Structure 1
Amino acid sequence: KLGDDMISLKEDPVVIDAPAPFEDSGINKFNGKYYYSYCTNWDGAKNRPTTNNLGVANIAYMVSDSPMGPWSEAKVVLKNPTSYFTGLPSNDKNNNHHCMLQRGDKIYMFYHSQKMAADMGITMGYRTTGVDLVTMDENGDLTSSMTTEGVSQVGSFNPYDVVEAETFAWSDGTSTIVGPEKNDGRNNRVLSSIDKGDYVGLEGVDFGSDGAKSVMMSIASATNDAAEGTISVYIDKIASNKKVGEITVNANKDYQYFKTKLTKTVTGKHKVFFKFSVKGILVDTWMFSKEEEPQEP
């Protein structure tokens, strides 16, 4: 327990005596109960026969009325990725990390697996993030799984707010790095490693009934040299008949806004794609506007 000053301890720490522990642990509070979850180790039945039911590199959990314990007997909420996907490396090379969170009346399980890398024929151990729902029964027991479909989008993006450029559902060729500090002092990242032909895309962008007439992006050169080119804006998919704008870029090392008027007013909910015909730039944010000449935030 923390002291009243929130930086000291009020009492000695209590060890959570979790069976077959490895790493990746945390505590959630669901329906007034505390759920401690973690990844089990690789010792196997021979070295821990009494906890063999917890498996190898599975996500186990225990329940308590208090974060200080005592805790219930451990159970498995999420098995190793090899239990759900074919074509993965052997179990001993598939680690299992997770994070549970509750939004409204739904509990979500975030995890990683080598499923995408395996599908691409990549065998270097790269892992990508997935998310599926957690089911809680009347006894408070949890179950979850890993799927290729994942979960449905829970909300829409407002394109008239400032959107961080590193927010995307799809990306080809790009990365992110630490960017300029925001006025409120919070950490900031920007889209980076951009080359010609790269793109990013976002799902569920709601332009409303009035619609967008222009778009702007905050961009800087990744070096001290100027970076020139264009960024094409597409709706729904990257295709010539879905292109609604093109931003001309002439960037230097300082961030500045580059704008363009759209070829038509965009209404309703869509996917949005930005495809780069420029290299060596950093993109901080983007924002659409209902006006033909967007106002900088």
Structure 2
Amino acid sequence: MSLNLDIKKSFKQLSDHNPVMVQRFGADPYAMVYGGRVYVYMTLDDPAQELDENGEVKENSYSMIDKISVISSDDLVNWTDHGTVYAAGEQGAANWGKNSWAPAAAWKNIDGKDRFFLYFANSGNGIAVLSADSPVGPFTDPIGGPLVSRDTPTCAEVTWLFDPAVLMDEDGSSYIYFGGGVPSEDKAWDPGTARVAKLGADMISLEGDPRPIENVSYLFEDSGINKIGGRYFYSYCSNFSMSKEAEEEKGFEQGEIVTMVSGDPMGPFEMAAPVLKNPGHFFGLGGNNHHCMFEFGGGYYIAYHSRILEESMGLLKGYRCTGIDRLELDGDSAPAKSVMTRKGAEQVKALDPYKETKAVTMSNATGIATRQFGETAEKYGSGDMIVTDIHSGSWVSVSGADFVDAGAKGIEVRVKSVDADADSDAEGGSVSGRIGSAGQNGLSGKIHICLDSPEAEPVCSVIIGTCIVEELTEITGSFDRAVTGKHDVYFVFEGEGFEFYSWKFLS
């Protein structure tokens, strides 16, 4: 028997993997692979910070951005929400800066310990660096000021001192690429505003002065760097001053991601191939084009942003979301033309449903929010998270769970009641709103476990009783029949007043 609930619709189709995150917006994606997972760091576009006097969402001005979203996955489809790094502004680690645009991330073993570094732009005026002992933080500011500023040699004349990318080479050396902007109309064909510098062994200093990257044709913004097949590929977004004649001559369009190639990480670079047209070419809604190419699980992928999430919401105010698709390589192992799709990347491995999985690991969701969970995450913005703002008909899902032949006979969930002050802790930027009234006693609900559709007959309904407290509580449910094979799993909620922390199926 199907559920007697008004099942909410997601902002993306059940079969689509893009955007990779629907509970928040995320722009300017940058991927870092570590420990068998890919971590994606994104500029947090937050409509809640861009309201007019009537409380209506304004056009995205980018001027309020001071947080960086973090998600990770080991299969490119199910993404764990790690919250938002409080990067800049009064609450941020780099509180000397106002903004946190276009992050880049890298890790390095230093003195026998893996360390993690998060680089971002203070609007168009310099590059900051934060460090941590974990890919998800807590991140702190190790130098108390900019890594790159207009006082840095060769950088005063860079129009937009932003959009960093980092290369970790096999010999242990590391490099940072940044810059962009068009100084004047007559410089559009060769702005001269791209820079590369060698990073110090500590990853928080420069070893020598930055060098101009020469002959970057029609540069706009968005530095990228990859080493593929022994060659270094610098990539960028072309500017919007190209004539039709220039597009035909150069072989790429305005607002397109273009590559250059070199045998040396600091150049000189020569023009190579365009790899990704503007989002407007694929989805009809254009804008700036920002990318990151990365290798994962034996394949190459490209992350980018578009406006398909806000389009589904009916917002159309310039708030961006991240997608990931396969990156095509040509016969010489060079990046070639790729596409943006709603379908997205294929799942590279099955999900193990018998391991405890955080409820904020999702392939899709609707009608929920996430918030920081625990003192560390609440202080620094990133870390442990919990699903909140639960209402009847809302749900979260994971894709490609393999129950194998033996099958699952039950499930264990960890839940808690809503804290009385949880509404003040709801994760900023949620596209589904914030918690309303909280701390109500006597409320109960259910988590319905449905396979392959949120409207399917549940295999089990876990009753969230009135005995749950503000600490995590384990509740189990049994199945009438074993669940076998591979399925998408939907956790459909009924009632409210509780939060969802984790789950695991029982064999």
* SS of corresponding position for 2:264: coil
Alignment-mate amino acid for residue 108 of structure 1:
Y
Structure 1, 208-217 or 7-16: larger mean CA deviation: 7-16
| Cα distance in 1, alignment partners of residues 497 and 212 from structure 2 | 50
Q: Is the counterpart of residue 198 in structure 1 residue 400 in structure 2? A: no
Q: 2:447 aligns with which of 231, 245, 256?
A: 231
Q: 2:318 corresponds to which residue? A: 125
Q: 1:248 corresponds to which residue? A: 463
Q: 2:296 corresponds to which residue? A: 103
* TM-aligned CA distance change 1:194 to 1:153, over 3 Å: same
Q: Is the counterpart of residue 79 in structure 1 residue 277 in structure 2? A: yes
Q: 1:11 corresponds to which residue? A: 208
Q: Is the counterpart of residue 285 in structure 1 residue 481 in structure 2? A: no
Q: 2:258 corresponds to which residue? A: 60
Alignment-mate amino acid for residue 415 of structure 2:
I
| Cα distance in 1, alignment partners of residues 349 and 262 from structure 2 | 33
Identical amino acids, percent of aligned pairs:
35
Q: 2:367 corresponds to which residue? A: 173
| Cα distance in 1, alignment partners of residues 237 and 372 from structure 2 | 30
Alpha-carbon RMSD across the aligned residues, in angstroms, is: 2.8
| Cα distance in 1, alignment partners of residues 267 and 415 from structure 2 | 51
Give the aligned length.
Answer: 281
In the TM superposition, residue 157 of structure 1 has moved relative to its aligned partner by: 0.4
Q: Which is strand-richer, 1 or 2?
A: 1
The alignment's TM-score, normalised by the length of structure 2, stands at 0.50
1:90-120 superposed Cα distances (whole Å, 9 cap, x missing partner)? x4xx222222111244211122222354456
Is the CA contact (8 Å cut-off) linking 1:20 and 1:51 kept in structure 2? no
- What are the ranges of 5 or more consecutive residues in structure 2 without an aligned counterpart? 1-197, 421-438
* TM-aligned CA distance change 1:54 to 1:286, over 3 Å: same
* TM-aligned CA distance change 1:191 to 1:15, over 3 Å: farther
* SS of corresponding position for 2:243: helix
1:57-98 superposed Cα distances (whole Å, 9 cap, x missing partner)? 22122222222222122542100122123xx34x4xx22222
| Cα distance in 2, alignment partners of residues 117 and 211 from structure 1 | 39
Q: 1:219 corresponds to which residue? A: 415
Is the CA contact (8 Å cut-off) linking 2:247 and 2:253 kept in structure 1? no
Alignment-mate amino acid for residue 228 of structure 1:
S
Q: 1:39 corresponds to which residue? A: 237
In the TM superposition, residue 177 of structure 1 has moved relative to its aligned partner by: 2.2
* SS of corresponding position for 1:142: coil
1:108-149 superposed Cα distances (whole Å, 9 cap, x missing partner)? 112222235445654333433322222211232522112233
The alignment's TM-score, normalised by the length of structure 1, stands at 0.83
Q: How does 1:260-275 map to 2 (within 5 A)?
A: 260-275=477-492
In the TM superposition, residue 19 of structure 1 has moved relative to its aligned partner by: 3.4
Alignment-mate amino acid for residue 289 of structure 1:
L
In the TM superposition, residue 56 of structure 1 has moved relative to its aligned partner by: 2.4
* TM-aligned CA distance change 1:155 to 1:20, over 3 Å: same
| Cα distance in 2, alignment partners of residues 209 and 50 from structure 1 | 57
Is the CA contact (8 Å cut-off) linking 2:224 and 2:291 kept in structure 1? no
Is the CA contact (8 Å cut-off) linking 1:219 and 1:284 kept in structure 2? yes
* SS of corresponding position for 1:135: coil
1:164-194 superposed Cα distances (whole Å, 9 cap, x missing partner)? 2122222111222222359xx9822222222
